[in-house]
Amino acid sequence: MTSATHNTNILIIGAGLAGLSAANDLQRSGYKVLVVDKGRGLGGRLAGRRIGNATFDHGAQFMTTRHSRFVEEVNRWVDAGVAEQWYASVPGQPNSHIRYRGAPTMTAIAKNMAEGMDILRAARVTHVAQSDKIWIATLDNGATISADAMLITSPVPQTIKLLATGNIQLPKDKCDRLNHIVYESCIAVMAVLDSPSKIPPPGALMLAGGPIAWIGDNQQKGVSSIPAVTIHSSGEFSAKNFENDHQTVAQKLLALAQPLIGAKVIEHQIHGWRYSKPLVMDEHRYMLASEGTGLPPLAFAGDAFAGPRVEGAVLSGWAAAEALVNCRFKGID
């Protein structure tokens, strides 16, 4: 035992889908797991927000399933009542992939996954360092966590910055892999409407080639009890406008969306996703960064490793958990 505020076998940074899926597997394997997230809510980019009586999914909008274990997992969420089928195709966009939504919102899935888990919220890790054979992480409230192993699931550019705080050196090939990863950003506008939108059922507009990539009708989706839409900019528009005044940018997107929405916007908020989805990904499902080094077990996971979607994040979390279990470090007696 150390004099740290918290002692654990495995510290997981990030309560997004990668972190939570890894935490579930590691806890099932008998390890003591502590998850920390800088956000007040759970789910990372599975995010929700309220404006008055309106409710929004303003990050990921739906999930698709490909891998058999993920199909089983989504079925489990459906059985638990935290996910349901939303749609399989919309007019003009035939696509056999069923889109699943969280129920009532996308964050319900994260809350379900987090049941029975030790999680510190609103706890930003500001410093990570190796101390002999363990990891020591420091939080923004001054608390410290000692851990035998560490899994970091933040977007990779944030992970790189975190490693630098404790001067953690990785082999060149691993640094090259991390530096190769590129994300696109996205500007999300959440708008409360004075009447239902004119977006046709099922309330999902996917648009190509312009500044707007997506408009989701949260009322038709069953997320919001009153008319409310989420507008996502395209990556290209966001790259040009991310650093500009967000209110001006929101007005631009709202003006472009107006003919599609029909109804009048009575209130709106904006959220910038700097690391929305990975455009250039790693070729492996996770990275065991400590492999071949003298570092205590250290792994990275997230959608940048296994695919730019909810499923990728979950698959990556599971793969990283398996790699950590195979490290056979102390923890299970």
Q: What does the alpha-carbon distance between residue 333 and residue 330 come to, in Å, rounded to a whole number?
A: 7
What does DSSP say about strands 83-87 and 144-152: parallel, antiparallel, or unpaired?
unpaired
Q: What does the alpha-carbon distance between residue 4 and residue 7 come to, in Å, rounded to a whole number?
A: 6
**Of the two residues 130 and 158, which places its CB atom closer to ligand FAD in the complex?**
158
Within 249-288, which residues bind ligand FAD (CB under 6 A)?
273, 276-277
Q: What does the alpha-carbon distance between residue 261 and residue 199 come to, in Å, rounded to a whole number?
A: 6
Q: Single out the residue of 11, 13, 151, 199 in contact with ligand FAD (rule: CB under 6 A).
A: 13
Point out which span in 85-93, 148-156, 217-225, 286-294 binds ligand FAD (CB under 6 A): 148-156
- CB-based contact 2:146 (threshold 8 Å): yes
Rounded least distance, CB 195 to ligand FAD, Å: 25
**Of the two residues 158 and 269, which places its CB atom closer to ligand FAD in the complex?**
158
Residue 93: CB atoms within 10 Å: 11
Rounded least distance, CB 153 to ligand FAD, Å: 5
**Structural Rg of the chain based on CA atoms:** 20
Within 64-123, which residues bind ligand FAD (CB under 6 A)?
none
**Of the two residues 93 and 195, which places its CB atom closer to ligand FAD in the complex?**
93
**Of the two residues 1 and 208, which places its CB atom closer to ligand FAD in the complex?**
208
Helix extents (H) in the chain: 17-28, 68-79, 107-113, 156-165, 172-180, 218-221, 235-241, 246-261, 303-306, 310-326
Point out which span in 10-18, 73-81, 197-205, 246-254 binds ligand FAD (CB under 6 A): 10-18
Rounded least distance, CB 193 to ligand FAD, Å: 20
- CB-based contact 315:286 (threshold 8 Å): no
Rounded least distance, CB 331 to ligand FAD, Å: 22
- How many residues bind ligand FAD, per CB under 6 A? 39
Point out which span in 74-82, 149-157, 259-267, 285-293 binds ligand FAD (CB under 6 A): 149-157
What's the one-letter identity of residue 127? H
Measured between alpha carbons, how far is residue 289 from residues 10, 83, 134, 145 in Å? 15, 34, 15, 20
Q: Which residues lie below 8 Å from residue 79, measured CB to CB, with a gap of 6+? A: none
**Of the two residues 11 and 195, which places its CB atom closer to ligand FAD in the complex?**
11
Q: Single out the residue of 138, 302, 320, 331 in contact with ligand FAD (rule: CB under 6 A).
A: 302
C-alpha closest to that of 43 among 13, 15, 18:
15
Within 36-75, which residues bind ligand FAD (CB under 6 A)?
36-39, 44-46, 59-63
Fill in the DSSP letter of residue 211. Answer: S
**Of the two residues 183 and 329, which places its CB atom closer to ligand FAD in the complex?**
183
Rounded least distance, CB 175 to ligand FAD, Å: 19
Contact residues: ligand FAD, CB under 6 A: 13-19, 36-39, 44-46, 59-63, 124-125, 153-155, 158, 162, 186, 188, 232, 273, 276-277, 302-303, 308-310, 312-313
